[in-house]
Amino acid sequence: MFERAEKVSQPALEKEIDCVRKEFPFLRDPHRFCRAIKGGLGCQLAVIGEFKTSSPSRGVIRKVFDFPTAIKELGSFSEAISILTEPHRFGGEMGRLVDSRKYTSLPLLRKDFISDPYDIAESASLGADAVLIILSAISDQDAETLLKACEYYGIDALLETHNESELPRAVLLAQRWRERVAIGVNSRNLENLMVDLSLGFSRLNELKKLLESANLQGVPIVAESGIESPEDAKTVSEVANAVLVGSALMSSDSISTEAERLFGRRVLLEKPWIKLCGFTRAQDVQAALTNGADSVGFVMTPGFARSLSLKDFLGLKNDPILSPVSRELKKRAVAVTVNPSDSDIEKLVDLGEFLTIQLHGDESSSRVSEIKHRFGLRVIKALTLRSREEARESLSLPADLILWDGIRPEARQAQGGTGHPWNFELAEGICTERVILGGGIKVENLQIVASTKVSGIDCSSGIETSPGLKSVEKIRNFIESARKTWGKV
């Protein structure tokens, strides 16, 4: 089962870390995966949705699939996504880890037989936020070395246990690497591949007690394998912070329908992708999320009409009115910035509330790439266009999404929320899945915008009564009108 888990001497592993540091010389924002799966307000069960096409226990799970749609569906209800890269038994592919980032901003877990530091460096270079470390396959000494590599490359680890004797091992590792690890309890027997949920639940309880005794209550507990019904999910939610589900989702006729059955979570994938921006009040955020906005933006750079300080944002986020949508807010919040420094970004990352950053200044292509890789954030790069040639050139930027925005007549760079439209015809015929249109978008011109075939739109002033003050009725009307308009295109 674990051919790759070869015994390598400690000096050799230490030397290999030094080698891979030179080959993959960048750092990432740490703890992104662990933060995401700790659960929302009210200790809600977090979900790690898994993309897989086959497994040793089930054989081929799904032969035909639309990968972008599958990742978008998984991302619409999950806190993190697991990607199988092991090719022989699970039908995994390395390329899927890289491609996943095109369709989701969520933390990515790489599942493979990780056995040496090079695997960690490789995982980071491919965009993983965490890796699976199977304790049955390696010694504690090798696990320590792998976690040391995780620390260097800024990614987390899910320590997977399969029997009771591995629980104390996992807890001992967590004592040293508590901010870096989550601990998984897999209910599958590796000898006969059978699942015993009752035994798994017993181990989850035992793990919780061990963590409490070691004063490690903050270490996330993950239930793995065998979740087939809402009752199963409810049972493990009494002990676990998160559940990892793959086969039940991927073997179903509809990932969305199965997710709603298992977890009661609604899945929205309609076009266009709608981002509403410039929020300053909790009631407006609630209206946007409950009416189906795909993303909500907060201006986190001072000096603008809709600017929020870190304290302002935390006060808004913690407003009781947002408790029912806290999970969605964490997934859909965008920090809108102008030429942010590393220190500015670090402060946003430390909040643990933003998975996406929007860059509205004159950030270069290399700076966009640096922010993506160093901080592990999804990046939206905003810019203005004066010609179709500029539009085409912008598509080469390394951002996850590109926002073609409006501009004040006297300004040189993108200035969101001005209400100033630009010539939407510049976008016609060259829009891609990565492009969002902004700048003076409102209900009255949605038909023109939709004709460009753009897949996403950004609106701020078009849903306001005054800068920063949104209208619930305008929010509802804008989203409904956009869905209907795109449905006719």
Q: Residues 332-348: pLDDT tens digits?
A: 899 999 999 999 999 99
CB 284 within 8 A of CB 324: no
How far apart (Å, rounded) are the C-alpha atoms in residues 376 and 107? 8
Q: Write out residues in the chain with pLDDT < 70, as ranges.
A: 1-31, 39-44, 57-58, 63-64, 265-270, 373, 406-422, 424, 431-433, 488-489
**How confident is the model at residue 19, as a pLDDT?**
56
Q: How far is the C-alpha of 90 from the C-alpha of 301, rounded, in Å?
A: 45
Bridge partner list, 378 = 356
Please report the pLDDT score of residue 40 as a whole number: 37
Q: Which tens digits make up the pLDDT trace of 373-430?
A: 677 777 899 988 778 888 888 888 888 788 988 644 334 444 454 555 567 677 777 7
Is 103 within 8 Å of 75 (Cβ atoms)?
yes
Which domains are assigned to the chain? 10-263 (3.20.20.70), 273-488 (3.20.20.70)
Over the stretch 74-84, which tens digit does the pLDDT of each residue have? 887 888 999 99
Please state the pTM of the whole predicted model.
0.61
pLDDT at residue number 26: 43
The angle that helices 282-290 and 472-488 make with each other, rounded to 10 degrees, is 30
d(CA 284, CA 430): 33
Amino acid 206 reads E
